[in-house]
Amino acid sequence: MTTRILTGITTTGTPHLGNYAGAIRPAIVASRDPQADSFYFLADYHALIKCDDPARIQRSRLEIAATWLACGLDADKATFYRQSDIPEIPELTWLLTCVSAKGLLNRAHAYKASVDKNVEAGEDPDAGVTMGLYSYPVLMAADILMFNAHKVPVGRDQIQHVEMARDIGQRFNHLFGNGKELFTLPEVVIEEDVATLPGLDGRKMSKSYDNTIPLFGSAKQLKDAVARIVTDSRAPGEPKDPDNSHLFTLYQAFSTHEQQAAFRAELLGGLAWGEAKQRLFELLDKELGEARERYHALITRPADLEDILLAGAAKARRIATPFLGELRESVGLRSFREQVQVASEGKKKAAKAARFVSFREDDGFRFRLLDAAGEQLLLSIAFADGKAAGQVTKRLQAEELDLHAELNAFSVRLDGEAVAYSPEFSTDAERDAAMQRLREALAPQE
């Protein structure tokens, strides 16, 4: 059996070396596993939550799409698409919104962090908080549940969101599944041993620290960035400590064990930092050179990228469209063309809503008839066996009811014999109303 792996990439910013080592490279490797059915998409609706600069949104979508393809993602094997090309996603988001507890979303970290910040600053708690930010986890749940993903690889900051997707999916299953698992409940995957790269200053490489190494800048830009890596002030010839050098950590992320051992020995032997940077530049240039060329070729042919992504969206929608149809049915958004059937089905349902429950007692087999709310309408006499009880329930549903008032209660007769009794009522009017309800509940279907 294949495992469906799904993850989204928020399209703000330009991918850097840290994204490559930490997310892109491992995801592409994972997508090559023959057992994997990978769904990777550009979370551009999510990007709109954080960014209101259209030019940046557009640029980032293009760059990220080109990056993944240039790095070797096979768009024929994996399903690679833009979230915003799948209209079923916002539609599902609404269906999920209607079953998502507001209290659940109140607890989302990203929202809570904004509120805390506002409170600290003495502002209104919800200042600057959009409904997009607030509902972010529901949109993400739709991304995941739409394709019934088994596994969702994400960074630690996203664990809570995947857990919320499970909660929301479970609730929907419970309300509308009729015993069936409409949605697969996803599992979060945290890649423990994935490299978190240090940036130029040694802190985690991140756009917010402005310490990144660009992934697909020119060779010159790469060289310049490497030159800005902060090192200690040991002079050429002085031994360097590889284990306290983030330059060495960066080198490790892209080299073989032999290369690492050799570089370590050179540093201990007094290699100048300038030389060390040259070694790292060459290593990175070798790792990224070909992909960089593919990247620049792709980015200059945006129409080709558009075609690739639209083909990916079509592939994804072959799953999403029929599945959303099923989900719409399940919540009661159905075509009126089937209204005739639906109406009679509705009637049957009303009858079905009253249900027979049989059980065994010391003196034999009995059944109760319960109404939709679980109130007892009838309790039968004892029968010799379950089959006899079953035949009586069948006849009660098929034949004209023969009801007889008996003081505060009434009986139901078959062939002139009482087979079941109602509970006791305090007034005749109540008893008569109950007789009427019973007739409606058991009226034979046309």
Nearer to ligand TRP, 207 or 294 (CB): 207
CB of 222 to ligand TRP, least distance (A): 25
Burial bucket for residue 347 (CB in 10 Å: 0-12, 13-18, 19+) = middle
Residues 6+ apart with CB under 8 A from 128: 114, 118
The strand pairing partners of 100, in sequence order, are: none
Residue with the CB atom nearest ligand TRP in the bound state: 8
Question: 12 or 255, CB closer to ligand TRP?
Answer: 12
Distance CA(375)–CA(372), nearest Å, equals 7
Local structure of residue 24 (DSSP, 8 states): I
Site for ligand TRP in 336-365 (CB under 6 A): none
User: Stretches 1-9, 26-34, 123-131, 259-267: which one binds ligand TRP (CB under 6 A)?
Assistant: 1-9
Question: Residue 23 or 283: which CB sits closer to ligand TRP?
Answer: 23
Strands (E), 150-305: 151-153, 187-189
Smallest distance, ligand TRP to C-beta of residue 320, A: 14
CB of 51 to ligand TRP, least distance (A): 12
Within 13 Å of residue 241, how many CA atoms lie on the same side as its CB? Answer: 4
Is 212:16 a contact under the CB 8 Å cutoff? yes
Smallest gap, in angstroms, from Cβ of residue 8 to ligand TRP? 3
Q: Which two tokens stand for residue 67?
A: 């990056």
The pair of structure tokens assigned to 44 is 């551009």
SS3 387: helix
Segment contacting ligand TRP by CB under 6 A, of 121-129, 151-159, 226-234, 246-254: 151-159
CB of 295 to ligand TRP, least distance (A): 22
Of the pair 7, 60, the CB lying nearest ligand TRP is at: 7
Q: At what angle do helices 302-331 and 54-70 cross, to 10 degrees?
A: 100
* Binding mask of the shown chain, residues 39 to 68, with x at each position contacting ligand TRP by CB under 6 A: ----x--x----------------------
Binding footprint of ligand TRP, residue count (CB under 6 A): 12
Asked if 200 and 229 touch (Cβ cutoff 8 Å), the reply is: yes
Q: Does 158 bind ligand TRP (CB under 6 A)?
A: yes
Q: Does 154 bind ligand TRP (CB under 6 A)?
A: yes
303: burial class by Cβ within 10 Å (0-12, 13-18, 19+)? exposed
C-alpha distances (whole Å) from 430 to each of 412, 413, 434 are 17, 20, 6
Select the residue interacting with ligand TRP from 49, 96, 138, 140 (CB under 6 A).
140
* Part of the chain binding ligand TRP (CB under 6 A), chosen from 150-158, 206-214, 287-295, 405-413: 150-158
Choose one: 4-12, 89-97, 419-427, 433-441; the region binding ligand TRP (CB under 6 A).
4-12
Under rule CB under 6 A, residue 82 binds ligand TRP: no
Q: Quick check: 81 and 312 in contact, CB under 8 A?
A: yes
Query: CA geometry: angle at 59 spanning 73 and 145, to 5°?
Result: 55
- Distance between alpha carbon 365 and the CA centroid of its chain, in Å? 48
At its nearest, how many Å lie between ligand TRP and the CB of residue 12? 9
Q: State how far the alpha carbon of 378 is from the alpha carbons of 164, 229, 311, 382, in Å.
A: 43, 83, 60, 13
Nearer to ligand TRP, 88 or 366 (CB): 88
- For residue 143, state whether it binds ligand TRP (rule: CB under 6 A): yes
> Nearer Cβ to ligand TRP, position 6 or 92?
6
CB of 331 to ligand TRP, least distance (A): 22
Q: Which helix (H) or strand (E) holds 413?
A: strand 409-414
> Please, what is the minimum distance in Å from the beta carbon of residue 101 to ligand TRP?
20
Q: Is 10 in the site for ligand TRP (CB under 6 A)?
A: yes
Does 137 bind ligand TRP (CB under 6 A)? Our answer is no
Which of residues 10 and 135 has its CB atom nearest to ligand TRP in the complex?
Answer: 10
Query: Which residue carries 């910040």 as its tokens?
Result: 117
Query: HEC states along 425-437?
Result: CCCHHHHHHHHHH
Query: Exposed, middle or buried by CB within 10 Å (0-12, 13-18, 19+), for 224?
Result: middle
**Residues 6+ positions from 219 with CB-CB distance below 8 Å:** 285, 289, 292
Q: Does 84 bind ligand TRP (CB under 6 A)?
A: no
What's the closest the beta carbon of residue 33 comes to ligand TRP, in angstroms?
18
Q: Which region, judged by CB under 6 A, interacts with ligand TRP, from 86-94, 140-148, 242-250, 425-433?
A: 140-148
Query: Can residue 7 be called a binding residue for ligand TRP (CB under 6 A)?
Result: yes
> For residue 152, how many other CB atoms are within 10 A of its CB?
25
The answer to whether 152 contacts ligand TRP (rule: CB under 6 A) is yes
64 or 215, CB closer to ligand TRP? 64
Q: Is 8 in the site for ligand TRP (CB under 6 A)?
A: yes
Binding positions for ligand TRP, rule: CB under 6 A? 6-8, 10, 43, 46, 140, 143-144, 152, 154, 158
